[in-house]
Structure 1
Amino acid sequence: MSDITQIRCEEGWLYLAVIIDLATRQVVGKAQGPVNSAELVIKALKQAWKKQKPDGRELMFHSDQGSQYHCMVTMAWLNKRKVTISMSRRGNCWDNACSESFFALLKKEWTRRLGLLTRKEMTEEIHFYITQYYHKVRQHTALGGLTPNAYAQQLNAA
C-alpha cells in the first residue's frame, strides 16, 4: 500500500511517500522531497523492491487515484514488474486506511511536537521514527500487540 502526505517545514512543505507491507505493517520504502510527484513514488517503490525482492506477479499495489499513482511513469513501472494495481474509489479514504493511520501516528506521536524544522532535519526525524520507533517499539493491535519487526520475524520463523 502507498500514499503521500505533507509535513510543514521552515522552507515549505516536505512530501513523504511510503510503501507499507500490509502483512507486517512495516514501511518497506519511503521517499521525501519538496515536490509532490511521481518521482517520489518511484523512488519509494525502488527502495521497497530492493529490500523485499518480491515476485511482482504475487503482489497487489494499492493506492489512491492521485496523479502520482495514476500517471504513465508509475503505471509502467508496476506493469513492467507484473504487479496487480488496485486504486481506491474516488473520495473513499477507507480504502487507504492503513497508510492514513500511519501518517496520523507519525504526526501525532512525532512530528507535531518538533515544531518547524528544516526539511533536512525533518527527513532525519522521520527516518528515526520509522526505523527506531515505529518498527521496533510501536505495538499494533492489528499485529496481536507485536511491533512490525517482531511480527515479521514471527512470520519468517513460521
Structure 2
Amino acid sequence: MYPKKRYVTTTMSFHHYRKWPDMINRTSPIMAEQVWVSDITYLRTGKGFIYLFLITDAYSRKIVGYHLSQSLKASGCISALKKAIGARKYKKRPLIHHSDRGIQYCCDEYVQILQRNHIAISMTQSGSPYDNAVAERVNGILKTEFGLYDTFQSYSKAVGPVCKAIEKYNNVRPHMSCEMMTPDKRHNQEFSQYQKNSVRAYLYDENLM
C-alpha cells in the first residue's frame, strides 16, 4: 500500500501578476510541441517535502523539461522551462505553454522567457483537475510505477531516482494514449497523412502558414 497522501499546496494563485486567458479550452493537440503543460508535484524526504517541476508535451506525453528543488521558488520552474526550450525538436512550430495560475508561472521572469521564445501563454481558469489531466496522469505514473512515492533520506538521495524515473518514463513505458508507443518515440514520430492534413488545417485556421 502507498502511504496516505497528505495534501501539499504547490499553487499560490493570490498575487498581483497578470493571469493569462485559457487558449487550450480542453482541446486535444494533434502534434508534438503544439502544447506544453507545466505542473509542480511534491516528493517526501526524511527532512520534509521537496518539489519536482515538470513540463510535459501534451501530445506525446514526453517530459521535455524538469527540475528537482528544495523550495517552491520560481527558479525551479525557470530551470525546467529553460531545459525544455533548449531541447526543442520542432523549433519553428507554434507552441502554447499551459499552466495553472500560480505565482511561479505568472512572475515577470517566467513570462519574459516565454515571450522571448515566441511561446504563447495559456492558463487554467476554473482550477478544475480536468484542466490539468495530462500533468496529473504523469505525476501518478512517476509516483506509483517508478518509485517516487517513496520517502527519500534527503534531497541529494532523491536526485538519482528522479532522473532514472523520468528516463524510464520517456523511453521505456508505452502509453495507451500514444498508441502503445513510448513518449519519446511518439514525440519523434513522422506524421501520418491524416496527421499532416490535420496540421495543415490547424495552421491555416490559426493563420500560421
Q: Structure 1 length normalisation: TM-score?
A: 0.89
- Shift in alpha-carbon separation, 1:10–1:96, aligned structure 2, 3 A: same
Q: 1:151 aligns with which of 178, 183, 186?
A: 186
Structure 1 residues 36 and 22: CA distance shift in structure 2, 3 A = same
CA contact (8 A) 2:170 2:182 kept: yes
Q: State the secondary structure of the residue aligned to 1:111.
A: coil
Deviates more, 1:148-157 or 1:28-37: 148-157
What is the CA-CA distance between 1:108 and the residue it aligns to? 1.3
Unaligned runs of 5+ in 1: none
Query: How many Å separate the matches in 2 of 1:85 and 1:97?
Result: 18
| Residues 144 and 11 (structure 1), Cα distance of their counterparts in 2 relative to 1, 3 Å cut | same
- Contact 1:61/1:85 (<8 A) preserved: yes
Q: Which residue matches 1:73?
A: 109
1:2, 1:20 within 8 Å by CA — same for their partners in 2?
yes
Q: Across the two proteins, how many residue pairs are aligned to each other?
A: 156
- Offset at 1:54? 5.0
Listed one character per residue, the Cα deviations across residues 100-154 of structure 1 (whole Å, up to 9, x for unaligned) are: 1111111112222x333311121210100111x2112211111011111222343
For structure 2, which runs of at least 5 residues remain unmatched after alignment?
1-36, 194-209
**Which residues in structure 2 correspond to 1:4-43 (within 5 Å)?**
4-43=40-79
Distance (whole Å) between structure 1 residues aligned to residue 136 and residue 96 of structure 2: 18
Structure showing the higher helix proportion among its residues: 1
Deviations 1:78-97 (A, max 9, x none): 11222110101132221111
Q: Which has the larger radius of gyration?
A: 2
Query: What does 1:1-150 align with in structure 2 at a 5 Å threshold?
Result: 1-52=37-88, 55=91, 58-109=94-145, 110-112=147-149, 114-131=150-167, 133-150=168-185
Distance 2:39 2:128 in 1: 13
Give, as a single letter, the amino acid of the residue that structure 2 aligns with 1:6: Y
4+ runs deviating over 2 angstroms: 53-57, 114-117, 152-158
Residue type of the alignment partner of 2:114? L
**Contact preservation (8 Å) 1:41, 1:68:** yes
Kept after mapping to 1: 8 A contact 2:62/2:184: yes
Please provide the CA RMSD for this pair.
Answer: 2.0
Name the SS of the counterpart of 2:148 in structure 1. helix
Give identity over the alignment, percent: 31
Is residue 43–residue 151 contact of structure 2 (8 Å, CA) maintained in 1? no
Cα distance in 2 between the residues matched to 1:72 and 1:78: 10
SS in 2 for 1:58: coil
Query: Does the aligned pair in 2 maintain the 1:56–1:82 contact within 8 Å?
Result: no
